[in-house]
Amino acid sequence: MVKREKNGSDTRLKFEHFVVVFSGIVIVSFLIGMALNVSPISPQGFGGTPAYDSGWLDITDKTGQDFNITHNLGSTDIVVDITGKRAANDEAHQRNLGGTDYTSEEGRQYGGLQFDLAYSVVQTVDGGYALAGYTTSPPPAFDRDLWLVKIDANGNMQWNREYGGAGHDNAHSLVQTSDGGYAIAGLTRSYGAGDWDFWLVKTDSAGNVEWNQTYGGAGVDGAWSIVETGDGGYAIVGYTESYGAGNADFWLVKTDSAGNVEWNQTYGGTGVDEAYSLVATSDGGYALVGQIGGNSSLVKVDSSGNQEFNSTYGGANEEYAASVIETSDGGYAIAGSIEFWGPDFWLVKTDSVGNEQWARRYGGEGTEVAHSVVQADDGGYVLAGYTNSIGAGQYDFWLVKFDSVGSVVWSETFGTAAYEEARSLIKTSDGGYAIGGYIYPSAGGDLFFVKTDESGNVFPYRFKYGLAWTNTSADAITLYRGTTDPYWNYVRVRIWETK
């Protein structure tokens, strides 16, 4: 028997012999029939004829997957009876209903035999997610292509697309655009004018290329972050060796909706200066962070790219600024790492004109590097990166929650005995978090994706045998079939309303 407990947006699986739950919570009222050598019991006390009967559905191809049964009743006050068959002419059963042989699955992997890495994740309008990075071709070429992977809300891959040429092409940042498509920013060695160039690829909602543009000169120019702007265009930031005052400078490129350059600006000194993160600000301008002259720097510009201020943070130690957000009070939060007998997570909070209000470091005896920050609903901050001070493997995803004044609330690691590095963090529509990055097993590497609740908890429900009810809405229930289950090739779902 499987029970769905709901607490706000949090739903979790629990296993019991039978359960009846009222007050707007979904109701499960079936027994694990064949597994207990008893007959399945249908909830006839709720009106006889069910409000919904799926009939027998062939789910032979659904092993290891979530799938929806859509009933369109518009209610979660329901009683559900689920039965299965191994073959179409077999007797109905409820064998291993609720699932058996559970496995701990903190994350989902996507990739092939070579190196496949994710640098950016977004939540999509359908409730799923998209990840962008690169995929590596087999030998002897070993060239890299931009890789866009679309998954559903439960982490099942829906499609993936590759973009690139004969050289190396990397994606570093991704947005879902207002038309439902995607814009991917990175760098290319296959196309453009120089050694490496900014590369912007625009696709439709299915990942088909609509257009692409390169930006750059004779030197190395690499894009690290993109936002869609209020006028339907794009702002892209990274670094350029082709233009500017120094060996490399911050480079901000503003385009129209078709990728045509409207203006571009460089910022920096005579050394090597690189921008890694960009946010569109509430006043119509932009805030950029990265390294200028070896210092972690926040550069604020207006809507035309004119610099308003440039502030640096840190001191005698080596610091790295990787991510910036505008905060609810109009200031900024910057995440990265600070060297202190090995790098630690570093979080800096500023006011609206870049004055430091406070800074915090957090880490252990090993290496901790933060790559991404979001503001939590309670005004605190959540950072994602990697650690080798704690966790299960060489490096693990590390998710750390701070309160609004920088005190640590909780931290969680996710990973295996291999090497995992988190590169991108978003706050999801259910109040939780989604993390994208990569995992290095013994050979090659894969995209790695983790979904948590608002407290950083992952509740795995992957199992080998049986069938389980894993989610519900007013018009559908979601079922999951075990990864190697032989018994549930057919399923029948009957639903009674309780109101």
Residue 471 domain boundaries: 2-103+461-497
Number of domains in the chain: 1
More confident residue, 43 or 131: 131
- Helix, strand, or coil here: 345? strand
Question: What is the average pLDDT value for the chain, to the nearest integer?
Answer: 87
Query: Phi, psi at residue 44, to the nearest 5°?
Result: -70, -15
| Four-residue CA torsion sign, 205, 209, 211, 215 | positive
pLDDT at 42 over 70: no
Residue 48, in any domain of the structure: yes
Which whole-number Å values give the CA distances from 299 to 34, 78, 175, 311, 312, in the listed order? 66, 55, 22, 7, 9
How large is the average pLDDT for residues 477-494?
A: 93
Does residue 465 belong to any structural domain of this protein? yes
Query: Does 476 reside within a domain?
Result: yes
Is the confidence at residue 462, as pLDDT, over 80?
A: no
Contact call for residues 158 and 129 (beta carbons, < 8 A): no
Q: Do the Cβ atoms of 34 and 486 come closer than 8 Å? A: no
Asked, for residue 16, whether it belongs to a domain, the answer is: yes
Rg of the chain over Cα atoms, rounded to whole angstroms, equals 25
Averaged over 90-97, what is the pLDDT? Answer: 94
DSSP 442-478: SSSBEEEEEEE-TTS------EEESEEEEEE-SSEEE
Q: With bands split at pLDDT 50, 70 and 90, how would you rate the model's confidence at 154?
A: confident
Closest Cα to residue 98, out of 457, 463, 459, 460?
463
Q: Is a pLDDT exceeding 70 seen at residue 140?
A: no
Residue 184 confidence (pLDDT): 98
Which pLDDT score is estimated for 299? Answer: 98
Q: Is residue 58 one of the residues assigned to a domain?
A: yes
Whether residue 219 lies inside any domain: the answer is: no
How far apart are the two ends of the chain, measured CA to CA in Å? 23
Beta bridge partners of 162: 147
Under 8 Å between Cβ of 269 and 246: yes
The pLDDT value recorded for residue 442 is 55
Residue 301 located in a structural domain? no
The answer to whether residue 12 sits within a structural domain is yes
More confident residue, 229 or 78: 229
User: pTM for the complete prediction?
Assistant: 0.78
475: CB partners within 8 A, 6+ apart: 70, 71, 72, 73, 74
- Token pair of 93, please? 């059963």
Q: How many CB atoms lie within 10 A of CB 163?
A: 23
Range of weakest confidence among 178-187, 226-235, 407-416, 442-451? 442-451
**pLDDT at 125 exceeding the cut of 70:** yes
- The pLDDT value recorded for residue 108 is 87
Q: Which segments of 377-445 are extended strands (E)?
A: 381-387, 396-402, 408-414, 419-427, 433-440
- For the segment 369-383, the average pLDDT, to the nearest whole number, is 97
Structure confidence at residue 142 (pLDDT): 77
pLDDT tens, residue by residue, 387-407: 999 988 789 999 999 999 999
Cα(456)–Cα(452) distance, rounded to whole angstroms?
5
For 191-224, what is each residue's pLDDT tens digit? 999 899 999 999 999 999 999 999 999 999 999 9
pLDDT band at 479 (very low <50, low <70, confident <90, very high): very high
DSSP notation for 252-310: EEEE-TTS-EEEEEEE--SSB-EEEEEEE-TTS-EEEEEEETTEEEEEEE-TTS-EEEE
Q: Which two tokens stand for residue 165?
A: 């040429």
When pLDDT is cut at 50, 70 and 90, the band that residue 461 belongs to is: low
